[in-house]
Amino acid sequence: MPMNPELFDLHAEVELTHWWFVARRAILRRVLASVVPPGTDRVVIDVGCGTGANIAALASDYEVIGIDTTESAIDLARERFPAVPFVCGFAPGDLGPDAARADAFLLMDVLEHVPDDTAVLAPLVEQLSPGGVVLITVPADMRLWSEHDESFGHYRRYDATRLRAAFDGLPVRERLLSPFNARLYPVVRSIRFLSQLRGRAWGRSGSDLDVPAAPINGMLRRIFAGESGRLVDLVAGKGRPFRRGVSLMAVLERVG
């Protein structure tokens, strides 16, 4: 489903400061490092990179590439992060030989935008050598559905069963599958419930993306980013997944 084009400009405006984006990048870095140790000889490709902040945050630790099908998003990414290579097109085909070099593909809130998520995931898995990974995040829990999802062009929100269905039969081993943004779930669910009652989202362009006052923004960032340790432990086979969360994270390792 098409995303409201105004949201790319809004992303570019807020993603370097908004608590959700900043904390999610911190979590991404820790979880990725636990499965792909940093090194400039390791290649990480962000599929559906949007306006570029996620992959740019990894550029000091890996060789990185961002790819997205939306030209306006790629234009913004290139303008903001000129040292990072960005490609406008479809993965893996438009990546050329770089696709087969990937140690990790990132799909950060991408699969919910496509009608057939397996059709997006399977060709990426096929490109990986054994031991390579796909790191996935998706929005969770259809009870949280609101105008925010519609503005972003989501087809669905996920639960664990639905996400597993996307990679069922693919040659991968599940290293991690857990809800996250769990500690703030009650707050987000309350806000989404009120959004459903009023019939519209709280932020701009039909989204929930407004940066709170600095003290609140910092507090929310710390609460969310604090979940990274538990997710890293889960990758190592220790502990139990969060019971519920606003999002889901999966790490899939290519086998065979």
The Cα–Cα gap between 142 and 28 comes to 23
Range(s) of the domain holding residue 250: 6-254
Domain membership of residue 1 (yes or no) is no
The Cα–Cα gap between 146 and 157 comes to 10
Find out whether 133 and 252 touch, Cβ atoms under 8 Å: yes
Domain membership of residue 223 (yes or no) is yes
Residue percentage of the chain with pLDDT more than 70: 93
Q: pLDDT tens for residues 165-216?
A: 999 999 999 999 999 999 999 999 888 777 666 665 555 545 567 788 999 9
Find out whether 251 and 205 touch, Cβ atoms under 8 Å: no
Asked if pLDDT for residue 84 goes beyond 70, the answer is yes
- How many domains are there within the chain? 1
Domain membership of residue 139 (yes or no) is yes
Half-sphere exposure of residue 93: CA atoms within 13 angstroms, side-chain side: 5
pLDDT category at 41 given cuts 50, 70, 90 is very high
The CATH number of residue 230's host domain is 3.40.50.150
Residue percentage of the chain with pLDDT more than 90: 81
The Cα–Cα gap between 121 and 174 comes to 14
Give this prediction's pTM.
Answer: 0.94
Half-sphere exposure of residue 187: CA atoms within 13 angstroms, side-chain side: 8
Domain membership of residue 170 (yes or no) is yes
Q: For the chain, how far is it from start to end, CA to CA, in angstroms?
A: 34
